[in-house]
Chains A and B, each alone.
Chain A
Amino acid sequence: MNSPLINVCDVSKTFVLHNIDGREVTALQNVSFSIAPGEHVALAGSSGAGKSTLLRLLYRTYTLTSGEINFCLSSGDWVDLGKLTDPEVVALRGREIGYVSQFLRAQPRRAVIDLVTRAGVSRGMTRNDAREQAAISLRRLNIAESLWEIHTSVLSGGEKQRVNIAAGLISPPRLLLLDEPVSALDPENRERAIDLISQLSEAGVAVLAVFHDLDAIARLATRIVVMSHGHLIDDGPVHSILPQLEPTDVHP
Chain B
Amino acid sequence: MTMTKSPIITPQAAIRVRGLSKFFGPIDEGAIARTGPEFGTARDPLSGSIVAAWDVNFDVAAGEALGIVGESGSGKSTVLRCIAGDQPSSAGSVHLMCHDEGRTNVLDLSPAARRKLRIDQLSVVYQDPAEGLSLGVTAGGNIADPLTAAGWRNFEAIRVRARDLLDRTEVPLDRMDDIVRNFSGGMRQRVQIARALANNPPIVLLDEPTTGLDASIASGVLDLIRGLLEELDLAVVVVSHDFGVIEMLTQRCIVMQHGRVVEDALTDQLLEDPQHPYSQKLVTAARS
Contact = CB atoms under 8 A, between A and B. Distances in A.
User: Is this pair of chains taken from one and the same complex?
Assistant: yes
Nearest to B251: A90
Contact of B268 (A19, A61, A118): A61
Contact of A73 (B8, B64, B230): B8
B8 A79 contact: yes
Contacts of B277: 18-19
A18 B274 CA distance: 10
A109 B223 contact: yes
A123 interface: no
Given A77-B7, A87-B59, A61 B272 contact: yes
A111 B154 CA distance: 37
Interface string B154-179: 00000000000000000000000000
B240 to A, nearest CB: 14
Contacts of B276: 18
Interface string A46-69: 000000000010011111000000
A60 B269 contact: yes
B266 A60 contact: yes
Contacts of B252: 86-87, 90
B11 A86 contact: no
A91 B227 contact: no
A172 to B, nearest CB: 19
Given A91-B10, A109-B223, A62 B64 contact: no
B266 A86 contact: yes
B1 interface: yes
Given A79-B7, A87-B59, A62 B273 contact: yes
B280 interface: yes
Nearest to A15: B273
Interface residues of B, number: 37
- For A15, A18, A75, A118, the residue with the greatest tally of chain B CB atoms inside 10 Å of its CB is A18
B230 A118 contact: yes
A78 interface: yes
A31 interface: no
A73 B276 CA distance: 31
Interface string A88-110: 11111000000000000010111
Contact of A87 (B3, B61, B224, B269): B61
Contacts of B281: 18-19
Given A86-B252, A90-B64, A61 B264 contact: no
A171 interface: no
Contacts of A19: 277, 280-281, 284
Contacts of B223: 108-110
Contacts of A118: 230
B7, B8, B280, B284, most chain A CB atoms within 10 A: B8
B179 to A, nearest CB: 29
Contact of A106 (B9, B244, B251, B275): B244
A186 B282 CA distance: 38
The interface centre, meaning the residue of A15, A61, A62 with most chain B CB atoms within 10 A of its CB, is A61
A80 B1 contact: yes
Given A73-B7, A86-B252, A108-B222, 12 more contacts: A19-B281, A56-B273, A60-B269, A77-B3, A77-B7, A80-B1, A87-B11, A87-B61, A88-B6, A90-B64, A92-B8, A108-B223
Interface of A: 15-19, 56, 59-63, 70, 73, 75, 77-80, 84-92, 106, 108-110, 118
9 contacts: A19-B280, A19-B284, A61-B268, A61-B269, A89-B266, A91-B10, A108-B223, A109-B219, A110-B223
Interface of B: 1, 3, 6-11, 59, 61, 64, 219-220, 222-224, 226-227, 230, 244, 247-248, 251-252, 264-266, 268-269, 272-273, 275-277, 280-281, 284
